[in-house]
Amino acid sequence: MSQDVTIKIIDREGVSHEVQAPTDMNMNIMELVRAYELAPEGTIGVCGGMAMCASCQCYVLNEVALPEMGDDEEAMLSEAFFVKDNSRLGCQIQITEKLEGLELELAPEY
């Protein structure tokens, strides 16, 4: 039986939310943010998680073993706004047990 992991997400208003993320539903960070309604409808996951928009860009605030960044994600971040060294696309980060304790901040909406 898989566990839920606790992830801390700071929304675009600067409010911190500690959420439980299921590891058995094949969800990603973008879907998690939508499920908890931490960003207004239509402002996150606009492309449906295809790494074709950067609406789910987030900043990783702590050291957690994240999946390697793929070419699509790297290409999208190279032309996105507000990109930092710790930027990732939420749709490209699958929720697994390894994400326990992850802290993220949602990038500003452009």
Closest C-alpha among 31, 19, 42 to residue 94: 31
> Can you tell me the distance from the alpha carbon of 10 to that of 25, in angstroms, rounded to the nearest whole number?
23
Kindly report, residue by residue over 53-62, the tens digit of the pLDDT: 999 999 999 9
> Can you tell me the distance from the alpha carbon of 97 to that of 14, in angstroms, rounded to the nearest whole number?
26
pTM attached to this predicted model: 0.94
Neighbours of 18 (CB within 10 A): 9
> Can you tell me the distance from the alpha carbon of 5 to that of 7, in angstroms, rounded to the nearest whole number?
6
Kindly report, residue by residue over 4-46, the tens digit of the pLDDT: 999 999 999 999 999 999 999 999 999 999 999 999 989 999 9
Strand partners, 105: 10, 59
The one-letter code for the residue type at 45 is G
